[in-house]
Structure 1
């Protein structure tokens, strides 16, 4: 392995020396060793594991059933082999991200410390390196990273996981003694602005600095060449400078009256490149060179008319994005980051909110190339700490964010707070809380002033949760240039019809303040479906209705500049529970980037090219009841998304119907048959057809369990539930409960479980049911059930009963993100004991929540039953103390 490393660095060495004066920058992501915990305690027996970066130590522990995840120290080490002639260079270590405090050591000596999980940082390391004239010299690099909670470092809390580790690329850089400033918050020392752009004329301003760390006075030429997309020189700026030994020289160069510049837009994201070089006067030898993107565009927000790009109105529709991926944490490759931007573009989106923190540089690079406008924000949400240290760290992170991302033409808004009053500190209504509000506003103003000074050409934004009166009273709607609202009316509270009224209120009370809807969305578990969806059931169908209502309201109001879906993809939120534990499921893509119906809905409304897709393709196995013994079909809705005016649907080659689309959606009532159902959707376009097809396997059932036409095989029922749950892994569909009717099946007695001591709408329990992946089944139940009856024919059956005690008595903090008050709540735990019999034979005795039924844990019991003629199956529940419960039941005929 050592010989391979030496060979790689000799290759880099010879590449460097063949272009002796240019900078070298290469990743050093391979061959690290990692140790989690305190090295002093681990001692000599510490077992370092080989890893490559990007790396996080939280990829798995955020998914297990144990509450919480490791927030502490991790150590990384690596041997660097430094070429001998780098002794005459300036060597830097450059980190794209390490969470959240990083300390760097070379050969046992401290090099530097960086605070903040999401911004870049670099350190000069030349004076710490060892050199050997004979060849490459080994040097020991050690990085200590700590993601512990720190009251003085934002973010303090958030509805996402604070992964630890060196989770982005690390570079080793070698620069000439004369180079562009590499000590300006990990920037490349060049800052490009276009102060004035029109269709006919443009101005360019390039600011920056370079340093002369040689021991000689230098006469230098700084040149900036504007190259078009084909590499041709479009414009040029150059100036001569003198630099004394050790001197830093600043420059501010302007180019006015640029004619015939091709504009950058979302449909034509034309990019120029600015290649900046330093050379000795009279010499062609380049000492340093950096490249930055350039796009000529102008934009504005209007409080009455919305957003304008290059003088044309443009409704901004897109999504927010977190940086993690299913089972990988936040340690993603550049290609995965770029893919997400591509998925947003493929949706027809034109706007990205990089939330709630700066992300990999590949994100804005992709936005520049693909034509996606962007917001970027610093990680400050929910509340602040009223300390000088917190304010200093917040300002430094803001400054780093602005300088590091300054040169991207796609970026139009800087943001610095998100829902910062979601969890106000101190007693409600107290003088101390009022002082807290003033301190929040004071910090906001400081960040606003800092941002406007750093960049007077872009807009500023604070995103607020839906407490209009509080944000308005504390001044947070007046400090930034733009106001963003994160609105979930119709999900956490009220109905989504109230969404439009909220927007109208903003326009009436703040008529001079441009408004953006910076978040809106609803959870969608792709496994859950309902033909009569209700709020908080997490079905695909309810979420579809939510997005239809919100997009309609946004598009109807010219003063609403933007709508940003929360979120592009499902993301990690370790403390979340419910049907998808540890995952916020509001994404319109799954955590592994598979489209949900929400994604298809936006494609149908935003794409210009012809589009048609059948909805809920992932629901490949359906079930339902035959219309009658002679009509062996079951009619269920099938949704098609299309941007065409009319769509037709065929089932197994026969036309079901043709219907007009409304808001890109059309619903067909399809008579499914038992077995394979091939569905084809198509639309006519200029004499041709655009089509989509899917196959659905349908398991047709009869309510008459002794039917000859459809003999009984299996049944899966979720009690206390009105949804269908598709368990793809098991190839099973769970049906909603029903009351017993003779000849069929169902429950007798009891009521649907609902949560108590909660401020939000209840659908089952919001707990993480341990020991199962079938959380939707175990999170609902029927309490006080007396019987479950099935009038099955004679034969041998396997009956599986599923139980979960949903009332634990354990105090838990109600999540502020569910619009709870964040206080500790506890249910009134009561002991329950009951027996379970099958056909009057007692099978489970004294089933108790102080015994087998451990609270918040899945329990199942499988029972074999032999059924005689006309006997059927009757499962009886006899309460001995409290009420009996049942969460789910499965019945399978064996013979």
Structure 2
């Protein structure tokens, strides 16, 4: 099934790109960038050839998308840059349409943006996440009349853009948010040529009754430059998921004001969009006036969904447990500037894990992500960035309404979207001297009414603002059982209590941090300190690593082992909650944050099931074992090279699988067959007690699902020597390929016994002609990182020359390694 979905998606992308290529071009290359402000626009002008020898010497060549904070967001020694930056390029602009309009289409730029053609400012925009356009037609025409157009610029047009992500209390989102407010042209920028009459937005409302027997389709359009046209010819075709044309409309139109209704029709027994079979129809629109034609293609889907009052979620008349996660637009080495290829990889990994629902936190995200959700069958909660900080003044509130309007209008046609999110943690004060609950309630009501006015077909929701829970359609309280508060065994009872308070309950955000590659023989030790029955929410100060009540987030070991148990418990409980609409684990991927400098990987929220560079943690496979059907099996501990304990001590070997049964082999000897039972915690009954002696162990599992068989195997060492505190470090090169070497530091005690619980913070540095691959925000890509089980790794580019790598830690001697 997944291969069919993948093929369908690739076909859809090819069709979309072919249509877009008619009048749109991505401006990805030949840009220059400077991360600071300039004295004025003239300093940014770059003529053809060598340029001005007296200009600023530190412009750097970049490609788009590009983010100011590609690496400084996870540099452990600095706070990420917030301020202005400039981009410049010279491009060919020749609009093929007579009297056509030329636009710059921004898919997202952070956070305040100004656009210049030569020295003429043509547009500005406030807001880092929605799409917007700048009409540069007149400015380009004026520039082409100047002598410098041909003499100094050789027939190219200078495009100069200033982005600014400076802190601003009267702007959303708040800098108190647990994510970076990035700067730059971090989404695609397109040069668009339109004929005089073009479509600004199309609104295709595809609906179907609960039985799926009768579909209705209405299409409205908002046109550009309509005041210059008296009559036009319109053609609309509707193509079904198999490629068959099922409707053709030809008509003349002469009314262009507002959002004009172009079509209203019914579709008998439409092929329904669902998470299993995400069937999509295609609306093809052709608009002709004065001998010139504008073409547009739009994917739509027919589906019926409902959050049942005091009950679960249904789609197309059947209950569906929403199995969700979250996404930030953030990745190692590029920050927010993710390419389309990266986005495809990420969303396919989610689908591979079994996700059928995603909350996009906490802002409107790339159109590419929404297209992927449509084609892969992933339902969506998308929200505006009213996140923490309280409520600002008139400018602030107007921006929120503008962002909500833009988000709904720009993503209206996506069948995957079921919820418009109005805010996140709006009970969190801090940006303003006044914190007035009634004013927040009033504004929330205004947003809720605006959302329903713009789109009555979808639900509204917020997360964690109890005094507004009655305003929106769907509410998600704060439940972090086993992390910020309480024990994960309290999860079901706490959820039941919150469900009873809400007409429509959906639990988004649960989980906990895990330092990738850190494992524990006794992961639940911290739970002995935790007071039960005191709630499982997150409160002020809970995210801190200091002070306050006992909690796993502060007192736990941050191991993958603990999070494995927490996730395992949650997932097995969710199978026994028939009233549950669904949940969303926070988040899918580790991401950078300015408010967590002391985490094991500094400035990284480490709650993801994959690292910031797509490396899977062990928890990925736990979700897969509950949420997928394609046979899989995974022995816990692929990133755990050395276990420890007493001689002959029995150790639990856990296997995560969706198969009916599994057999474990230890050094070639069978330890028996286990039947899977999701309610047999942990590992759904697929666990074995293995007496272990000092030495090497090879584990292999053979799992069966019907007639299909899958296997997995790992090798681990077992250490019986006990250790004291670390007194020394060693540093060795453990691999090298394609000019990239990997070095590993290990911590030993005075007797040279490996300290397998050591969590010291170590610092890597390099002198010479090589280059550390650092500031990636990963367990193997940070110059400052806590040890995982007494070791840590980092990679470096050797550049085929000599370097010296060093590693230091507090109260331990620094060690050095020559790299030839």
Q: Tell me the TM-score normalised to structure 2 length.
A: 0.78
Deviation at 1:80, TM superposition (A): 1.9
Matched, 1:169 2:178: no
Residue aligning to 2:775 = none
1:384 to 372, 390, 394: 390
Residue aligning to 2:221 = 208
Q: Pick the structure with greater CA Rg.
A: 1
Residue aligning to 2:444 = 444
Matched, 1:24 2:43: no
Deviation at 1:613, TM superposition (A): 1.3
| Distance in 1 between residues matched to 2:262 and 2:194, nearest whole Å | 23
Query: Alignment partner of 1:88: what SS?
Result: coil
Contact 2:217 2:265 in 1 (8 A): yes
| Distance in 1 between residues matched to 2:337 and 2:458, nearest whole Å | 30
Which residues in structure 2 correspond to 1:115-264 (within 5 Å)?
115-130=126-141, 131=144, 137-156=155-174, 157-181=176-200, 189-197=201-209, 198-212=211-225, 217-242=229-254, 248=257, 250-264=259-273
Deviations 1:298-335 (A, max 9, x none): 10001322100000000001101111112221111011
Residue aligning to 2:545 = none
2:367 to 355, 361, 369: 361
| Compared CA separation, residues 772 and 415, structure 1 to 2 (3 A) | closer
Which residues in structure 2 correspond to 1:37-56 (within 5 Å)?
37-40=36-39, 44-56=55-67
Deviation at 1:34, TM superposition (A): 0.5
Deviates more, 1:130-139 or 1:595-604: 130-139
Deviations 1:63-120 (A, max 9, x none): 2232411100000011121227556211100011111001111121111111111111
Residue aligning to 1:415 = 421
Residue aligning to 1:463 = 463
Deviation at 1:514, TM superposition (A): 0.7
Deviations 1:554-580 (A, max 9, x none): 332223211100010111113312212
Residue aligning to 1:71 = 82
| Distance in 2 between residues matched to 1:45 and 1:746, nearest whole Å | 52
Residue aligning to 1:796 = none
2:613 to 584, 592, 597: 592
Contact 1:39 1:46 in 2 (8 A): no
Query: Alignment partner of 1:556: what SS?
Result: coil
Deviates more, 1:379-388 or 1:559-568: 379-388
Deviation at 1:659, TM superposition (A): 2.2
Deviation at 1:139, TM superposition (A): 1.2
Contact 1:22 1:289 in 2 (8 A): no
1:481 to 469, 473, 484: 473
Residue aligning to 2:584 = 564
* Count of residues in Structure 1 that have an aligned counterpart in Structure 2: 689
2:572 to 552, 562, 568: 552
Deviation at 1:255, TM superposition (A): 3.3
Residue aligning to 2:800 = none
Matched, 1:860 2:808: no
Give structure 1 stretches of 5+ with no counterpart.
1-18, 182-188, 465-470, 628-632, 704-714, 720-726, 754-769, 780-801, 804-856, 864-895
Deviation at 1:444, TM superposition (A): 0.8
Deviates more, 1:543-552 or 1:477-486: 543-552
| Distance in 2 between residues matched to 1:574 and 1:638, nearest whole Å | 38
| Distance in 2 between residues matched to 1:288 and 1:85, nearest whole Å | 12
Deviation at 1:519, TM superposition (A): 0.6
Contact 1:679 1:693 in 2 (8 A): yes
Matched, 1:330 2:349: no
Residue aligning to 1:111 = 122
Matched, 1:300 2:306: yes
Which residues in structure 2 correspond to 1:482-881 (within 5 Å)?
482-510=474-502, 513-533=503-523, 534=526, 535=552, 536-576=556-596, 577-619=598-640, 621-624=641-644, 627=647, 635-663=650-678, 665=684, 666-671=686-691, 676-696=696-716, 698=717, 700-702=719-721, 717=725, 772-774=784-786, 858-861=810-813
| Compared CA separation, residues 57 and 586, structure 1 to 2 (3 A) | same
| Distance in 1 between residues matched to 2:227 and 2:404, nearest whole Å | 33
1:271 to 255, 258, 280: 280
Deviations 1:735-787 (A, max 9, x none): 9x9xx9xx99999xxxx99xxxxxxxxxxxxxxxx9743356899xxxxxxxx
Give structure 2 stretches of 5+ with no counterpart.
1-18, 44-53, 527-551, 728-733, 736-741, 761-781, 792-806, 816-820
Deviation at 1:675, TM superposition (A): 5.6
Matched, 1:62 2:73: yes
Deviates more, 1:580-589 or 1:527-536: 527-536
Deviations 1:539-565 (A, max 9, x none): 111111211222233332223211100
Matched, 1:339 2:359: no
Contact 2:322 2:582 in 1 (8 A): yes
CA RMSD of aligned residues (A): 3.2
Deviation at 1:685, TM superposition (A): 3.5
Q: Tell me the TM-score normalised to structure 1 length.
A: 0.72
Query: Alignment partner of 2:561: what SS?
Result: helix
Contact 1:579 1:776 in 2 (8 A): no
| Distance in 2 between residues matched to 1:593 and 1:457, nearest whole Å | 35
Deviation at 1:733, TM superposition (A): 6.5
Query: Alignment partner of 1:602: what SS?
Result: helix
| Distance in 2 between residues matched to 1:250 and 1:592, nearest whole Å | 43
| Distance in 1 between residues matched to 2:693 and 2:437, nearest whole Å | 62
User: Greater relative contact order (Cα 8 A, min sep 6): structure 1 or 2?
Assistant: 2
Residue aligning to 1:831 = none
| Distance in 2 between residues matched to 1:774 and 1:481, nearest whole Å | 43
| Compared CA separation, residues 396 and 211, structure 1 to 2 (3 A) | closer
Deviates more, 1:364-373 or 1:685-694: 685-694
Query: Alignment partner of 1:129: what SS?
Result: helix
Contact 2:172 2:396 in 1 (8 A): yes
| Distance in 1 between residues matched to 2:185 and 2:173, nearest whole Å | 18
Deviation at 1:425, TM superposition (A): 6.8
| Distance in 2 between residues matched to 1:588 and 1:716, nearest whole Å | 32
| Distance in 2 between residues matched to 1:744 and 1:354, nearest whole Å | 48
| Compared CA separation, residues 23 and 624, structure 1 to 2 (3 A) | closer
Deviates more, 1:233-242 or 1:567-576: 233-242
